[in-house]
Structure 1
Amino acid sequence: HDDILSPSGHKDNIQIASKGNWRFSFRNRVQDEATVQPKRKKLEDKQITTYRYPWDKASLKSLQIDLKAFEKLDAYAAKVNANQTVDLLVKELIRNTHSDLEKTRAIWIWICHHIEYDTEGLKDLSQVSCDPNDVLRTRKGVCAGYSSLFESMCSIAGVKCKSMSGYSKGGRYKTGQTFSGDSTHEWNMVYLEGSWHLLDSTWGAGTTSHNEPFTFKYNEFYFLTHPALFIEDHFPEENKHQLLEPCVSLKQFEKLNRKCYFYKMGLLSSWPDTVTVETVKGKVTFTLEGRHHLLFLFHLNKTETPGLMQLTEHGMKLDVYPQKTGEQILQIFAKREDSEGVYDWILDYKVICKSVDTNMKIPKCLMNPVGPSWLSEKAGLFQPSHQDPVIYTEDGCCTVSFALKGKLSIFATLDSSEIQMTSDMKHRHIFQTQRENDVEFKVRLPTSGTYVLCVNVKDPNGDTYTSQCKYVIFCTNHTVHWPQFPLVYGTWAKHYELLGPLDGILPENSNISFKLRVPDVTEVSVRGGKSSFPLSLTPQGYWEGMCSTGGNQELNVTVSFKDNPNVYNYIMQYEVGKKKQIK
Structure 2
Amino acid sequence: MGCGGSKSTAVVESNVDVRRHNGIKRSNDVINERATVDESRGYTEQNSGNVTEGQSVKVNEEIAHPLKHKNVINGHTTGIDDGVVINQQRDEPDSIERKSKQNVRQSAPYKIPTDPKTVSPFDPSVNVAKYREEPIPVFGRAAFPLSKDTPDLKIEDTFWPGKRALIPDYNQMKKLDKHAIETPPGLRKDMDQLVAHLTTVANSELEKLRVIFRWVAHNTEYNVEGFRTGMYGDNSAEAVLRTGLAVCGGYSNLMVAMCAKAGVECVKITGYAKGSGYWPGKENLSKMTHAWNRVTLNGSTFLCDCTWAAGSVDTAFTRHWKEGQFLAEPKSFANHHFPKGVDIQKIFSTQSLEDWNNTPVLGALAQFSGLECVSHKEGIIKAPSNSCLIKLKLERALYNTFCIVKNEDGTKLKGVALQWWNKNELSCSIRLPKAGRYSFVLIGKISWQRNDNGNTEVLYPEQPSDAIRNTIVSYVIKATGGEKLDPMSTEEINLYGAPLNLPDYGLTPADKNEATVQAVAGSAHVVFKKLHEGPSSVRVDVCKVGDQNKKMESSVYCEHFDDWVVCHVRCPSAGKYTLTMYVKSDHEDYSCRLTYIIVCTGKFDPIRLPDMSRVSGPNAKFAGLGLRLRDTLTSTIVTVEGEGQLVITCDTTKEMKIIAGLKDISESPNNDGDYVVETNKTETEQVTTVSLRLKTKGFFKLTLFAKPKTESVPTPKKRVCRSMASMLSQT
1:485 paired to 2:590: no
Given that 2:505 and 2:588 are in contact with CA atoms closer than 8 Å, whether structure 1 keeps it comes out as no
Residue by residue over 1:521-562, the C-alpha shift from the partner in whole angstroms, topping out at 9 and shown as x without a partner, is 99999989999576999xxx997888457xxxx986779999
Given that 2:199 and 2:208 are in contact with CA atoms closer than 8 Å, whether structure 1 keeps it comes out as yes
Match runs of 1:191-202 below 5 Å: 191-202=296-307
Corresponding residue of 2:601: 476
Corresponding residue of 2:193: 88
Corresponding residue of 1:189: 294
Corresponding residue of 1:59: 160
Corresponding residue of 2:445: 335
Residue by residue over 1:58-93, the C-alpha shift from the partner in whole angstroms, topping out at 9 and shown as x without a partner, is 926568311444332232223222343112211222
Deviation at 1:203, TM superposition (A): 0.8
Residue by residue over 1:299-325, the C-alpha shift from the partner in whole angstroms, topping out at 9 and shown as x without a partner, is 211233422211344452222222322
1:117 paired to 2:217: no
Corresponding residue of 1:133: 238
Corresponding residue of 1:369: 495
Which amino acid in 1 is paired with 2:544?
Answer: S
Corresponding residue of 2:180: 77
Which amino acid in 1 is paired with 2:221?
Answer: E
| DSSP-derived class of the 2:521 partner | coil
Tell me, in whole angstroms, the C-alpha distance in 2 between the residues paired with 1:274 and 1:221. Answer: 24
CA RMSD of aligned residues (A): 4.1
Unaligned runs of 5+ in 2: 1-157, 407-411, 455-468, 619-633, 649-657, 678-688, 708-726
Deviation at 1:110, TM superposition (A): 1.0
Residue by residue over 1:245-295, the C-alpha shift from the partner in whole angstroms, topping out at 9 and shown as x without a partner, is 652210121023334423364333223232101237532222131323433
Tell me, in whole angstroms, the C-alpha distance in 1 between the residues paired with 2:434 and 2:484. Answer: 10
| DSSP-derived class of the 2:165 partner | coil
Corresponding residue of 1:287: 392
Deviation at 1:177, TM superposition (A): 0.7
Of 475, 491, 506, the match for 1:349: 475
Residue by residue over 1:337-387, the C-alpha shift from the partner in whole angstroms, topping out at 9 and shown as x without a partner, is 244236822221111223388898622247332223532222111352563
Residue by residue over 1:493-536, the C-alpha shift from the partner in whole angstroms, topping out at 9 and shown as x without a partner, is 656415489xxxxxxxxxxx657664459999998999957699
Deviation at 1:335, TM superposition (A): 0.8
| DSSP-derived class of the 2:581 partner | strand
Corresponding residue of 1:274: 378
Which amino acid in 2 is paired with 1:329?
Answer: S
CA change 1:453–1:83 in 2 (3 A) is same
Corresponding residue of 1:506: none
CA change 1:429–1:158 in 2 (3 A) is same
Which amino acid in 1 is paired with 2:596?
Answer: Y
Which amino acid in 2 is paired with 1:247?
Answer: T
Match runs of 1:306-455 below 5 Å: 306-314=416-424, 316-341=426-451, 344-355=470-481, 362-365=488-491, 367-372=493-498, 374-385=500-511, 387-405=513-531, 406-407=533-534, 408-418=536-546, 422-423=550-551, 425=552, 427-434=553-560, 437-455=563-581
Given that 2:404 and 2:442 are in contact with CA atoms closer than 8 Å, whether structure 1 keeps it comes out as yes
Residue by residue over 1:113-134, the C-alpha shift from the partner in whole angstroms, topping out at 9 and shown as x without a partner, is 1111122333455461112122
1:243 paired to 2:346: yes
Tell me, in whole angstroms, the C-alpha distance in 1 between the residues paired with 2:209 and 2:706. Answer: 80
Q: Could you say which structure has the greater relative contact order, defined with CA pairs below 8 angstroms and 6 or more residues apart? A: 2
1:296 paired to 2:401: yes
CA change 1:242–1:156 in 2 (3 A) is farther
| DSSP-derived class of the 2:281 partner | coil
Given that 1:391 and 1:472 are in contact with CA atoms closer than 8 Å, whether structure 2 keeps it comes out as yes
CA change 1:234–1:179 in 2 (3 A) is farther
TM-score by length of 1: 0.72
Deviation at 1:217, TM superposition (A): 0.9
Deviation at 1:152, TM superposition (A): 1.0
Tell me, in whole angstroms, the C-alpha distance in 2 between the residues paired with 1:305 and 1:557. Answer: 37
CA change 1:360–1:437 in 2 (3 A) is farther
Given that 2:702 and 2:729 are in contact with CA atoms closer than 8 Å, whether structure 1 keeps it comes out as no
Unaligned runs of 5+ in 1: 1-56, 502-512, 564-570, 575-583
Corresponding residue of 2:312: 207
Tell me, in whole angstroms, the C-alpha distance in 2 between the residues paired with 1:260 and 1:401. Answer: 35
Tell me, in whole angstroms, the C-alpha distance in 2 between the residues paired with 1:526 and 1:246. Answer: 71
Which amino acid in 2 is paired with 1:330?
Answer: F
Q: Give the number of aligned pairs.
A: 487
Given that 1:221 and 1:264 are in contact with CA atoms closer than 8 Å, whether structure 2 keeps it comes out as no
CA change 1:445–1:518 in 2 (3 A) is farther
